[in-house]
Amino acid sequence: MTLVQTNPIITDDEPPVSLWRDAWHRLKRNKLAIFGLCVIVVLAFAAVFGPYLTPFDFLSQDLDARNQAPSLLHLFGTDDLGRDVFSRVVYGTRTAFLVAVVVTAIALAIGTTLGAIAGFFGDPYDRVIMWLTDMTMSVPNLLLVVVINASLKNPIAKWMEAQYMATLNPFYRETIWIDFFLVFGSMALISWPPYARLVRAQVLSIRSRPYITAAMALGLPNRIIMMRYVVPNALGPLIVSVSAGLGTAMVLESAFSFLGVGVNPPTPSWGNMISDGLRVWQHYPHLLAAPAFVLGLASVAFSFLGDGLNDALNPRGSK
Amino acid sequence: MTAQNKQERLLDVKGLTVEIDGRRGPAVVVDGIDLYVGKGETLGVVGESGCGKSLTMLSLMRLLPNKIKVTKGTAEFNGRDLQTMSNRELRKVRGGDIGFVFQDPMTSLNPVMKVGDQLCEPLIYHRKMSKADARKRAVELLRLVGIPGPEERLDAYPHELSGGMRQRVMIAIGLACDPKLLIADEPTTALDVTIQAQIVDLVKDLRNKLGMSVVWITHDLALIAGLADRVVVLYAGTVVEDAPVDDLYANPSHPYTRGLLASIPTLSDAPAARLSSIGGTPPEPGRRPAGCPFAPRCPLAMDICLREVPKLEPISSEGRHRAACFAVNTALKAA
Ligand SMILES: Nc1ncnc2c1ncn2[C@@H]1O[C@H](COP(=O)(O)OP(=O)(O)OP(=O)(O)O)[C@@H](O)[C@H]1O
Ligand code: SF4
Ligand SMILES: [Mg+2]
C-alpha cells in the first residue's frame, strides 16, 4: 500500500484542548470583543458592589449643592435635589443589570422551550407556536407595554395597598416591586419571539444535517447526540443573541422609562435619569450626558462581545 | 445446490420498499429490492445518481429522514431482522456490527468536535473503553487509514483537514469497533482520482486484514472492478442485474448495464465506441413507467416491456448471474 502524504493540516500555534478553550483563544485575539468584555466586567462589578463603595448615598439630598457641575467631589455633578449623580449612575447599573438579566432569562426560557418544541415535534405544535410568535412580533412593542402598564398598574397597586392595610407588612409598601414586576413582565413578553425563532431554526437545520445521521449510524444514544452534536452546534448563535439581547434590554428599559412606564423614581435607572436629564439638558447637560454615556457604553460593549463570540464559537469561520 | 446458497449470508435484504411522502402523494423510491452480502464478501452497488442507492442503505439501518419510510420488506443481519428489532438492539448493531462511511466528508463530521473525540465516542459507548484507551485506539485507527502524524490529528477540527484526510477519518470512524460489515456510500466521489485510488487500495487492504464484508456504493463501474467480488446494478429503485464481477464485465446482460459499461472510456476503445452511453435520464420517483422502468431509454424495448415488470431471473447455469430483462430472458430461452 503506497500512500502519498497529501495536504498537511493547518494547526493552531497552541494545541486546542476543548471547543470552549479554543473559542476563548480566538476571542482573546479580538480587541473589540475584549474591550466589550472589560466594560461589562467593570459594569457588573459596579452593579454588585458599587452601591456599597460610592461616597454618597444615591438618595441623600443636599439642597445646598443642587445642579452642580462635575467636580472631584461629585464626579458627575449633582442633580436638582443635590443628589450625587455618580452614585445614582452606579446604582442605575444595578437596576440595568437586574432588568437585563431577569428579562433575558425569562425571554430565553420561554423562547428556547417554545422554539425547541416547535422545531423538534413539528406540526401541530409548530404551527401554533409560530402563530403565537408572529402575533407577538406584529404588535408594536411600546404599545403593548403601555397597555399592560395602564391596565395592570392600578389594580396591582390597590391590591398591594389593601394587603398592607390588612397585614401591616412593610413589604407591600414597596412600590418598587410593582415597577419591577410590570417592567420585567412586559419586557419579557415582547422579547421572547426572536429566541423562539432562532432555536426553532437551529433545531430544524441541525436535525437534518448529515453529521447527525452519521452520529446516529454510530449507534450513539439520543442523549449523547443531543448534548454533543446538536447543542454545541446550536449554542453559538444563541449565545451571540443573548449577549446582544442583554444590551437591547438595557436600552429598552430606558425607552420605557422615557415613556413613564419603566422603573420609577426614586429608584435610579439610567432610563429615568436620562428622561429627567432631557428636561433640563440645555442648562445642565451633565445630567443627561452621564447616564446616556454609560448606557451607550454598555450597549456597545454587549454588541462587540456578541460579535466576537460569534466569530470565536464558529471554528469554521475565517479569522 | 448452487454456490450462492452455500455461502453464508451476513446481510440479506428481501423485498425492501421505501416510499417518500411527497406533496403529490407517496412515491416509491426503492421498489422491492433483493440483495445479500456474504461473509467476507465485497459487494459493489452501482447506479446513476438518484436511483436510490443511499436511501436503500439508510433504510437498512432505519436512518431515513422524516417523511421517508420503509413500507415493505425485511433486512436480516446475521439472521435478525433490522427492521423489527428494538431501538436498543439496533443501536448495538449501528456502529458496533455495521460501520457506515458517508457520501460527503465535508458535512458528515461534526464541525465543532475534534476528530479524535468523534473517533473515541463509539469506542467509549460500544466498547466501554476509558477515555485514555479510546485515544490510544483512535491513534491506531488513524494510522491504519494512512493519516500521517495521527497523534496531532486527534486534536484537529474537521475544517483543519483536507477532503481526503476527512474521508479517511470517516473510514476510521466506520471501522472503529471492528464491524462485521462496512457500508461505504460513494466514499470517493468528492475526491480527486489519485486519492480515490488510494482509498480503494486502503479498503481492499483493510478488508483482507480484518476479514470484514463490504458494501461499496458508487456510480462508477470502473472504480470497483478491482475491489468488488460481486456487483448489483440498480436502476430506478430496482435491481436490474446481479453478477460476480468478472461475469459482469465479460458478459453484461441488461441493456442498462451494457450502457453503463459502454460509457466507461478504455484505452483500447476507438473514440466512436465510447459514445454509446445511455441517452435520457432516469425517471423521477413517482413518475416511473408501468412496465420495465428502463423501457423509455431502452434500445431493445418491446411491447411486453411497457406492460409488465421483468423479474430478476438467473441467466447463467450456476444461477449467480441474474438479470431483470425480457429481451435477455427470451434470448436465453430461445438458445
Ligand atoms: N430527503 C429527501 N427528500 C425527498 N426526496 C429524497 C430525499 N433523499 C433522497 N430523495 C430522492 O430519492 C431518490 C433516491 O435518492 P438517493 O439519495 O438514494 O440516490 P442515490 O442513488 O444515492 O444518488 P447519488 O448517487 O446522487 O447519491 C432521489 O430521486 C432523490 O431525489
Ligand atoms: S425489459 Fe425491455 S425495456 Fe426493460 S431493459 Fe429489458 S428490453 Fe429494455
Ligand atoms: Mg447517494
Residue B271: what pLDDT? 46
Residue B245: what pLDDT? 92
The cell numbers describing A146, all together, are 403601555
Residue A116: what pLDDT? 81
Check if the beta carbon of residue A281 is closer than 8 Å to that of residue A80: no
Q: Ligand 2: does its nearest atom lie under 6 Å from the Cβ of B206?
A: no
- State which of A4-13, B232-241, B265-274 shows the largest mean pLDDT: B232-241
Residue A18's identity, in one-letter code, is S
- The answer to whether residue A10 scores a pLDDT higher than 80 is no
Give the distance (Å) from ligand 2 centre to CA of residue B37: 26
C-alpha span between B162 and B191 (Å, rounded): 10
For the segment A165-176, the average pLDDT, to the nearest whole number, is: 76
Residue A219: what pLDDT? 92
* Interface pTM, i.e. ipTM: 0.86
Phi, psi dihedral angles at A86 (to 5 degrees) = -60, -50
Q: Ligand 1: does its nearest atom lie under 6 Å from the Cβ of B33?
A: no
The cell numbers describing A300, all together, are 456597545
- The answer to whether residue B241 scores a pLDDT higher than 70 is yes
How big is the CA angle at A102 (ends A99 and A103), to the nearest 5 degrees? 75
Distance (Å) from the alpha carbon of A115 to chain B's nearest alpha carbon: 19
Closest ligand 1 atom to residue B284 Cα is: 29
CB contact under 8 A, B108 and A16: no
For the segment A82-90, the average pLDDT, to the nearest whole number, is: 76
For the segment A176-201, the average pLDDT, to the nearest whole number, is: 83
User: Hey, what domains does chain A have and what are their CATH numbers?
Assistant: 29-58+73-317 (1.10.3720.10)
For the segment A63-67, the average pLDDT, to the nearest whole number, is: 66
Nearest chain B residue (CA) to A17: B155
Residue with the smallest CA separation from ligand 1 atom 22 is: B54
Closest ligand 2 atom to residue B306 Cα is: 3
Q: Read off the pLDDT band of B54 (50, 70, 90).
A: very high
Least confident of A178-192, A229-243, A268-282, B113-127: A268-282
pLDDT digits (tens, 9 = 90+) for A113-133: 888 888 877 778 889 999 999
Residue B3: what pLDDT? 46
pLDDT digits (tens, 9 = 90+) for B131-173: 999 999 999 999 888 888 899 999 998 888 888 889 889 989 9
Q: Give contacts of B101 with chain A, Cβ < 8 Å.
A: none
- The answer to whether residue B296 scores a pLDDT higher than 50 is yes
Give the distance (Å) from ligand 1 centre to CA of residue B52: 6
DSSP-assigned beta bridge partners for residue B215: B43, B183
Average pLDDT over chain A reads: 78
CB contact under 8 A, A228 and B121: yes
pTM above 0.90, yes or no: no
Q: Which residue would you say has higher pLDDT here, B128 or A152?
A: B128
% of residues, chain B, pLDDT over 70? 92
CB contact under 8 A, B95 and A219: yes
Nearest chain B residue (CA) to A23: B112
N residues, chain B: 335
Q: Give contacts of B170 with chain A, Cβ < 8 Å.
A: 214
Give the distance (Å) from ligand 2 centre to CA of residue B334: 17
Nearest to A218 among B95, B148, B205 (CB): B95
What is the 8-class DSSP label of residue A8?
P
Burial class (CB in 10 A: 0-12, 13-18, 19+), B66: exposed
C-alpha span between A174 and A263 (Å, rounded): 13
The cell numbers describing B135, all together, are 485515544
Q: Give contacts of B110 with chain A, Cβ < 8 Å.
A: 211, 214-215, 228-229, 233
Residue A84: what pLDDT? 74
Q: Read off the pLDDT band of A140 (50, 70, 90).
A: confident
CB contact under 8 A, B202 and A3: yes
Nearest to A11 among B152, B176, B198 (CB): B152
- State which of A47-61, A67-81, A86-100, A196-210 shows the largest mean pLDDT: A196-210
Q: Ligand 1: does its nearest atom lie under 6 Å from the Cβ of B53?
A: yes
Q: Read off the pLDDT band of B77 (50, 70, 90).
A: very high
Q: Ligand 1: does its nearest atom lie under 6 Å from the Cβ of B38?
A: no
Q: Read off the pLDDT band of B1 (50, 70, 90).
A: very low
Q: Give contacts of B164 with chain A, Cβ < 8 Å.
A: 6-7
Nearest chain A residue (CA) to B164: A6
pLDDT digits (tens, 9 = 90+) for A200-233: 998 888 888 899 999 999 999 887 887 788 877 8
pLDDT digits (tens, 9 = 90+) for B311-333: 998 887 678 899 999 988 777 77
For the segment B93-122, the average pLDDT, to the nearest whole number, is: 90
For the segment B118-129, the average pLDDT, to the nearest whole number, is: 93
For the segment B202-226, the average pLDDT, to the nearest whole number, is: 86
Interface test with A, best of B85, B94, B104, B110 (most A CBs within 10 A): B110
C-alpha span between B224 and B322 (Å, rounded): 19
Closest ligand 1 atom to residue A208 Cα is: 1
Give the distance (Å) from ligand 1 centre to CA of residue B198: 27
Residue with the smallest CA separation from ligand 1 atom 4 is: B20
Handedness of CA A184, A190, A193, A198 (dihedral sign): negative
Distance (Å) from the alpha carbon of A35 to chain B's nearest alpha carbon: 26
- The answer to whether residue A35 scores a pLDDT higher than 80 is yes
Q: Which conformational region is residue B25 in: left (phi greater than 0), alpha (psi within -120 to 50 degrees), or beta?
A: left
Distance (Å) from the alpha carbon of B294 to chain A's nearest alpha carbon: 31
CB contact under 8 A, A216 and B94: yes
Q: CB-based contact (8 Å) between A209 and chain B?
A: yes
Distance (Å) from the alpha carbon of B184 to chain A's nearest alpha carbon: 12
Average pLDDT over chain B reads: 86
- The upper half-sphere exposure of residue B198, i.e. CA atoms within 13 Å in the direction of its Cβ, equals 19
For the segment B102-109, the average pLDDT, to the nearest whole number, is: 86
pLDDT digits (tens, 9 = 90+) for A239-278: 888 888 888 888 888 887 777 776 766 677 887 777 777 7
Where do we find the cell 419510510?
B69
- The answer to whether residue A159 scores a pLDDT higher than 60 is yes
- The answer to whether residue B4 scores a pLDDT higher than 60 is no
Closest ligand 2 atom to residue B300 Cα is: 7
